[in-house]
């Protein structure tokens, strides 16, 4: 993408059904066409990724105003669900994989993050900076105390991520009193290796870039992982205390922007 095109990018929340549809179409291209997730028949017919949570969420968008002709050109998106709206939504998407009841002990408004993706032609620093600046502004505007969501490893072969899962479990576990746990019927132990057998360099190679970014701003990990065959991923529950974030957010994500969206969460 030409460098001067970045001047036409804006970040804001979707404010129409047309913009939401454009975000869902981008999600479909990334998750189903590019990454091999399994769509429903209706998703395949519409070429859009959607579920029952979408109507209750805010949808953060990166829009390229220079490229939009009629329909908005959405080149990046993040789905945001606040705790004050989750009850009307029937809960959280993450709750399908993790028991989140321990998070009730953490005070304040919570925010579930999900469905993050960026168009492959726009994976550069300015886009990532805008996306995370939008999230930082959202945290302040809604007085969010805690963020969480499913963070994914591509593929479902646990042997290929054993160093990373073991490292995260041993060194980045959330405090026990508010640590979510993978649901009993889906629980996969993250402690694949003894602590003294963990190779730090190998673990860093296996950890997806977006998870590394969360760790840099103080992210911690729930108990256990979940295999998600629909999306062809292994998911962990990642939690970030918002008080650790605002001063560092944009700086940390911009510093490694080119690395972080070589793969999607």
3-state DSSP call for residue 98? strand
CATH topology of domain 3-260: Aminopeptidase (3.40.630)
Q: HSE (CB half, 13 Å, CA atoms) of 117?
A: 19
Domain ranges of the chain: 3-260
E strand intervals along 135-219: 144-154, 181-182
Q: Report which DSSP code applies to 6.
A: G
pLDDT in tens, 146-196: 999 999 999 999 999 999 999 999 999 999 999 999 999 999 999 999 999
Global pTM? 0.87
pLDDT digits 0-9 by tens, 57-79? 999 999 998 775 666 799 999 99
Q: Which residues contact 241 (CB under 8 A, 6 or more apart)?
A: 145, 146, 218
For the stretch 184-213, pLDDT in tens is: 999 999 999 999 999 999 999 999 988 988
- Confidence band for 257, pLDDT divided at 50, 70 and 90: very low
């Amino acid at each position: 993408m030409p460098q001067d095109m970045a001047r036409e990018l804006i970040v804001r929340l979707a404010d129409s059904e047309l913009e939401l549809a454009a975000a869902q179409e981008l999600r479909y291209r990334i998750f189903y066409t590019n990454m091999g997730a399994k769509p429903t028949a209706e998703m395949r017919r519409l070429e859009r990724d959607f579920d029952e949570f979408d109507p209750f969420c805010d949808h953060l968008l990166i829009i390229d105003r220079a490229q939009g002709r009629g329909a908005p050109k959405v080149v990046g998106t993040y789905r945001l669900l606040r705790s004050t709206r989750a009850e009307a939504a029937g809960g959280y998407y993450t709750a399908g994989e993790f028991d989140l009841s321990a998070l009730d002990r953490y005070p304040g408004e919570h925010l579930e993050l999900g469905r993050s993706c960026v168009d492959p032609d726009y994976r550069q620093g300015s886009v990532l900076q805008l996306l995370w600046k939008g999230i930082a502004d959202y945290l302040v505007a809604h007085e969010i105390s805690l963020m969480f969501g499913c963070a994914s490893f591509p593929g479902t072969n646990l042997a290929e991520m054993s160093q990373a899962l073991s490292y995260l479990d041993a060194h980045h576990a959330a405090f026990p009193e508010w640590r979510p746990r993978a649901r009993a019927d889906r629980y996969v132990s993250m402690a694949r290796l003894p602590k003294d057998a963990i190779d730090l360099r190998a673990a860093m190679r296996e950890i997806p870039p977006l998870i590394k970014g969360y760790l840099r701003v103080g992210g911690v990990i729930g108990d256990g992982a979940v295999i998600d065959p629909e999306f062809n991923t292994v998911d962990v529950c990642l939690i970030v205390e918002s008080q650790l974030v605002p001063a560092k957010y944009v700086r940390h994500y911009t510093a490694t922007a080119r690395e972080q969206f070589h793969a999607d969460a």
